[in-house]
């Protein structure tokens, strides 16, 4: 098997020059046969389509699947949400309740751990797959490093009330909620922003990362003015009538800079309070640079590391015409010709790769499965909520492609296929279908179609068939005892191939 993997690496991965472009997209000369439009849609609007999702989308059709996923509130996700509510209680708690549990003897890392497990469960099992993809997108856009001091207690509410509440709504609502989030106010130091000593961290990232983009037309004077506008935006302990102290947004007028300000050519008069920050957010939401910046990031996420200008223009126009409606922008992308013809142009980031490997195989989890997956993600460099810088995990393939990273992916693939990934089980016979394949050729064809949903190149198929035959005639029947083992090994190799690395 090791010798075959070496040969298979050359045939399917092809090395940096033949299989990968400089930014991680596949070279047009790659020998991997193209994916269908439907498979491209499913692989980018889910964390790897399950058998049920593939069958449902195939029956409904391309446009119907798009509309189905664009209405997540109509999709019943109660099974996974009930599991989370019953087994991970901090996910539904306020900051005050999380802190009270710690004061009563609970572990300081419980909330962060439970949020991570809940996120994995939703990515694995929620039928609202496009919604979960967008939750991850906005989590990276409005990144908060969960291991940054009190952020480990505050991020749970930020995830629930900011990101998840507005992930498919209006961008302006999402931006305004983030600006009032104790997690964001803490992470980017705005809780320290006072008139006597303005703190510019949040103002700078608000302009550069959240709205206009680094080339969006703002100046250092704008950064300073925005920082002054957000003086006094902080959080405080609040005790409502039920007696449970909570941590909530608070505007402290006593430390607000009440002087006149000028932001992006707009004058903010003197003598005001919270209205300064609110007007800045309104200015940014309606700014053409914000429309283009958000459009570019969405097209990069869903279409290509090098976003086609034609599609960026149309998505930016949709932003402006719809008032920043996220669903409208997604519809523009997913129904575009640029998207439909962009198969295999996006290299899976570690979360997408690991989660899709389980979903596509219909794997079941038990016992210490979370440790297996979080360890795999840590090795691959994308642990949930653990990107320390405010710009979020990179969204270009070139960052994730290296010899060490590929080796780690192959190890994960082979462990999953061989059934040695702790807490994760794969029913090989269910994947093979009925009647069970008799020959190496039948076995390879059955698994390739089930896992990859497309044909292999002739060379790749021949290599896999020869491997499965193990020196015997490829048309000869496999002994039942050998068939299961060969199927497991072929599964691992398919998951380690370029066919599966891209979406």
In this structure, what token pair is assigned to residue 200? 């510019």
C-alpha separations of 57 from 45, 46, 122, 338 in Å: 11, 12, 20, 20
Q: What is the pLDDT along the chain (503 residues), one digit of tens a residue?
A: 443 344 344 433 333 333 444 344 454 335 678 889 999 999 999 999 999 999 999 999 999 999 999 999 999 999 999 999 999 999 999 999 999 999 888 889 999 999 999 999 999 999 999 999 999 999 999 999 999 999 999 999 999 999 999 999 999 999 999 999 999 999 999 999 999 999 999 999 999 999 999 999 999 999 999 999 999 999 997 665 566 789 999 999 999 999 999 999 999 999 999 999 999 999 999 999 999 999 999 999 999 999 999 999 999 999 999 999 999 999 999 999 999 999 999 999 999 999 999 999 999 999 999 999 999 999 999 999 999 999 999 999 999 999 999 999 999 999 999 999 999 999 999 999 999 999 999 999 999 999 999 999 999 999 999 999 998 998 899 998 899 999 999 999 999 999 999 99
Rg (CA), the chain: 25
Contact indicator for 329, 312 with CB cutoff of 8 Å: no
Region at 434 (left for phi over 0; alpha for psi -120 to 50; beta for the rest) = beta
Neighbouring CB atoms inside 10 A of 394's CB total 16
| CA count, 13 A, side-chain hemisphere, 426 | 26
Q: What is the pLDDT of residue 241?
A: 57
Residues whose CB falls within 8 Å of the CB of residue 97, separated by 6 or more in sequence, listed in order: 90, 244, 246
Q: Rounded CA gap, 228 and 277, in Å?
A: 9
Q: Rounded to the nearest 5°, which phi and psi values hold at 459?
A: -65, -45
C-alpha closest to that of 113 among 349, 386, 381: 386
DSSP letter assigned to residue 151: H
Q: Please give, one letter per residue, the 3-state secondary structure of 239-302.
A: CCCCCCCEEEEEECHHHCCCCCEEECCEEECCCCCCHHHHHHHHHHHCCHHHHHHHHHHHHHHH
Both tokens of 120, joined, read 């994995």
Strand partners, 263: 266
pLDDT score, position 19: 41
Beta strand ranges found along 74-134 (DSSP E): none
Q: What is the pLDDT of residues 65-110, one digit of tens each?
A: 999 999 999 999 999 999 999 999 999 999 999 999 998 888 899 9
Q: Tell me the residue length of the chain.
A: 503
pLDDT of residue 243: 62
Tokens at 334, concatenated: 């997913």
Q: What whole-number distance in Å separates Cα of residue 377 and Cα of residue 305?
A: 22
- Enumerate residues 6+ apart whose C-beta is below 8 A from 494: 413, 417, 447, 448, 451, 452, 464, 500
pTM, two decimal places: 0.94
Q: What is the pLDDT of residue 237?
A: 79
DSSP-derived secondary structure letter, 381: T
Contact 264, 287 (CB under 8 A): yes
157-206 residue pLDDT tens? 999 999 999 999 999 999 999 999 999 999 999 999 999 999 999 999 99
């Amino acid at each position: 098997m090791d010798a075959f993997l070496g040969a298979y690496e050359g045939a399917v991965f092809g090395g940096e020059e033949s299989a990968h472009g400089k930014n991680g997209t596949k070279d047009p000369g790659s020998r991997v046969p193209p994916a269908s439009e439907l498979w491209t849609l499913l692989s980018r609007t889910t964390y790897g389509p399950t058998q049920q999702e593939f069958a449902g989308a195939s029956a409904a059709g391309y446009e119907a699947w798009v509309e189905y996923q664009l209405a997540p509130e109509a999709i019943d996700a109660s099974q996974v949400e009930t599991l989370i509510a019953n087994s991970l209680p901090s996910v539904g708690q306020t900051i005050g309740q999380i802190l009270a549990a710690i004061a009563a003897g609970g572990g300081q890392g419980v909330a962060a751990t439970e949020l991570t497990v809940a996120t994995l469960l939703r990515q694995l099992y929620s039928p609202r797959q496009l919604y979960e993809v967008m939750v991850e997108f906005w989590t990276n856009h409005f990144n908060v490093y969960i291991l940054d001091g009190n952020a480990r207690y505050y991020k749970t509410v930020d995830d629930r009330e900011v990101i998840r509440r507005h992930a498919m709504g209006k961008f302006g609502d999402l931006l305004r909620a983030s600006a009032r989030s104790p997690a964001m106010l803490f992470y980017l130091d705005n809780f320290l922003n006072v008139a006597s000593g303005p703190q510019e961290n949040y103002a700078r990232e608000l302009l550069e990362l959240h709205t206009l983009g680094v080339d969006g037309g703002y100046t250092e004077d704008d950064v300073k003015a925005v920082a002054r506008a957000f003086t006094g935006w902080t959080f405080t302990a609040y005790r409502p009538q039920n007696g449970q102290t909570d941590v909530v947004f608070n505007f402290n007028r006593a430390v607000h800079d009440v002087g006149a300000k000028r932001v992006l050519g707009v004058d903010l008069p003197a003598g005001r309070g919270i209205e300064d920050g609110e007007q800045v957010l309104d200015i940014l939401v309606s700014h053409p640079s914000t429309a283009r910046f958000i459009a570019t990031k969405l097209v990069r996420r869903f279409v290509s590391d090098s976003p086609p200008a034609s599609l960026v223009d149309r998505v930016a126009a949709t932003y402006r015409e719809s008032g920043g409606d996220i669903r409208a922008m997604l519809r523009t992308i997913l129904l575009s010709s640029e998207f439909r013809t962009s198969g295999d142009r996006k290299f899976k980031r570690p979360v997408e790769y690991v989660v899709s490997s389980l979903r596509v195989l219909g794997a079941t989890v038990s016992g210490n499965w979370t440790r297996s997956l979080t360890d795999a993600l840590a090795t691959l460099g994308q642990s949930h909520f653990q990107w320390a810088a405010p710009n979020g995990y990179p969204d270009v393939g070139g960052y994730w492609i290296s010899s060490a990273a590929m080796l780690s992916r192959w190890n994960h693939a082979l462990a999953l296929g061989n059934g040695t990934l702790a807490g994760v089980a794969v029913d090989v016979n269910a994947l093979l279908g009925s009647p069970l394949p008799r020959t190496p050729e039948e076995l390879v064809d059955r698994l390739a179609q089930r896992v990859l949903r497309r044909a292999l190149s002739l060379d790749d198929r021949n290599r896999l068939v020869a491997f499965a035959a193990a020196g015997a005639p490829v048309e000869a029947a496999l002994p039942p005892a050998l068939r299961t083992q060969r199927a497991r090994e072929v599964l691992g190799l398919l998951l380690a191939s370029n066919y599966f690395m891209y979406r």
